[in-house]
Amino acid sequence: MTKQKIGIIGAGPVGSIMAAHLARSGEEVYLIDIREDIISAVEQKGITLSGTGANFSARVKGTGCFAASLDRLHVDHIFIAVKSNYMETLLEEIKLFYRIGQKLLILQNGIDNEDQAAGKFGAENVMRFIVNYAGMTMEPGYVRVSFFNPPNYIGAFTPKNERKAKDLAELITNAGLKTDYVPDIKKHEWKKTILNAALMPVCATTGLTMKQAMGLEDTRYLCEQILAESIRVAQEVGFDYGEDFFETALSYLSKAGHHKPSTSLDLEAGNPIEYIFQPIIDYGKKKRVPTPYLESLTKVMRCLEHKKREVKL
């Protein structure tokens, strides 16, 4: 695959980790973020990664604080790595400079994010990426990689895009982030969201790390109930992960480390929370599958978020 010109919007851990790997492998990468301190640091020192499977620095080709900065660059692909909260506004900005032939790759947690993009740009121009790595911004331009559970997954929504998705999977794999093409990307995004849903609201409402939440009897019980609810909703939607998925998922969650998910960090900092598990509740209502544990903890989270932001103001 020839060298690609890639614009990455979002310089949080997900976008920065992707940008650093692609830049190191020789791709022409442009990193965009509204946080001027991050962009300034990246311009001066590049991106530095440390932690799980990463210990290097890389310099991107260019930076900008506005999505419109990509207008003059004629990038081949636009990677979207911002929180889903900002998706609608960002897509409207991209429409102002989007050129036919550019592909949008959605690097977000959650369910159906790509449908929102496809509604504005067409399914033939959108691909979905399931991120199986995570990190924490230690300071502007420096990200510590918390974990990488390979592979990542990429999927297309029209046969026309399958070859392109496979090429991108190869490109990202060669850059050091093993990625597989899958024909059933929706099933994978539901699976990851189910796993996130089991821990995120429990950790956020209790202040515990993921390891602590799975190690204490009471909070583990909550995780188990949310996991069971979410699996039932997925089954009604049409995604069956097999009879042993519940136990397999619990085993996976039990291996989580002593760090907090992004929802906890955002809540503690008074930042807007990305409720990536809300669609499970919504689909549950449509399918008449109750999700009392997940819904209750989500409501508690919203109350805590409101209180924290009031204090911050």
Mean pLDDT score, 129-145 = 95
What's the confidence (pLDDT) of residue 187?
97
What's the confidence (pLDDT) of residue 308?
87
Strand partners, 276: none
What is the edge-to-edge ordering of all strands in the sheet holding 56-58?
A: 56-58, 47-51, 142-148, 133-139
Residue 298 has pLDDT above 90, yes or no: yes
List, in order, residues 6 or more apart from 86 with CB less than 8 Å away.
none
Q: At what angle do helices 185-206 and 262-269 cross, to 10 degrees?
A: 40
List, in order, residues 6 or more apart from 243 with CB less than 8 Å away.
none
- For residue 3, which of 27, 24, 23 has the smallest C-alpha distance? 27
CA angle 36, 40, 42 (to 5 degrees): 120
Mean pLDDT score, 285-293 = 98
Helices (H), the chain: 13-24, 36-45, 87-95, 113-121, 162-174, 185-206, 210-215, 217-237, 245-254, 262-269, 278-287, 292-312
Residues 148 and 134: their CA atoms lie apart, in Å, by 7
Q: Are 283 and 112 in contact (CB under 8 A)?
A: no
The pLDDT tens digits of the residues spanning 8-34 come to 999 999 999 999 999 999 999 999 999
- For residue 275, which of 67, 100, 84 has the smallest C-alpha distance? 84
Mean pLDDT score, 56-65 = 97
Q: How confident is the model at residue 309 (pLDDT cuts 50, 70, 90)?
A: confident
The proportion of the chain whose per-residue pLDDT surpasses 70, expressed as a percent, equals 99
The pLDDT tens digits of the residues spanning 263-277 come to 999 999 999 999 999
Residue 293 has pLDDT above 80, yes or no: yes
Residues 147 and 259: their CA atoms lie apart, in Å, by 10
- List C-alpha distances in Å: 172 to 22, 41, 65, 213: 7, 24, 24, 33
What's the confidence (pLDDT) of residue 257?
86
Residues 297 and 278: their CA atoms lie apart, in Å, by 11
The pLDDT tens digits of the residues spanning 154-207 come to 999 999 899 999 999 999 999 999 999 999 999 999 999 999 999 999 999 999
Residues 311 and 292: their CA atoms lie apart, in Å, by 29
Average pLDDT of the chain?
A: 95
- The first and second tokens of residue 99, run together, are 């050129």
Residue 133 has pLDDT above 70, yes or no: yes
